[in-house]
């Protein structure tokens, strides 16, 4: 049984990210490398597991329920659907400030 092994540079090319990003993924435990101090090696099975995890997380994010009023938050941006409920904004007090 042959095991396909990639270097961190190979994985960076496959994922289309910087080499340092791959090293950070390994440091965070999101991508597991074979034991070794200097050269990081990643098996094909581990790379497939990581890609499947990323695919699952992306699809789970797309399935998240939308609030009933049509307003939501997506990556820090407010998203309003075309059918969003319009709500009146409270007006400022009508009396003048100071004299």
pLDDT tens readout for residues 15-74: 999 999 999 999 999 999 999 878 899 999 999 999 998 888 888 877 766 555 554 555
The CATH number of domain 5-78, selected from 1.10.1660.10, 2.40.160.40, 2.70.98.60, 3.40.50.300:
1.10.1660.10
What is the rounded average pLDDT of the residues 87-97? 57
3-class DSSP state of 54:
helix
Bridge partners (DSSP) listed for residue 73: 78
Whole-model pTM?
A: 0.59
The token duo for 57 is: 């997380």
How far from each other are the two terminal CA atoms of the chain, in whole angstroms? Answer: 88
Instruction: Say what the pLDDT of residue 61 is.
Output: 79
pLDDT for 10 equals 95
How far out from the chain centre does Cα 14 lie? Answer: 18
Q: What is the Cα–Cα distance from 52 to 27, expressed in whole angstroms?
A: 19
């Amino acid at each position: 049984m042959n095991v396909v092994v990639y270097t961190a540079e190979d994985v960076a090319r496959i994922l289309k990210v910087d080499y340092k990003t791959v090293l950070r993924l390994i440091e965070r435990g999101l991508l597991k490398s074979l034991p070794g101090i200097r050269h990081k090696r990643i098996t094909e099975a581990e790379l497939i597991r990581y890609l499947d995890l990323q695919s699952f997380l992306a699809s789970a994010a797309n399935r998240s329920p939308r609030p009933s009023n049509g307003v939501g938050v997506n990556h820090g941006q407010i998203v309003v659907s075309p059918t969003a409920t319009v709500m009146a904004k409270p007006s400022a007090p009508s009396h003048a400030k100071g004299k």
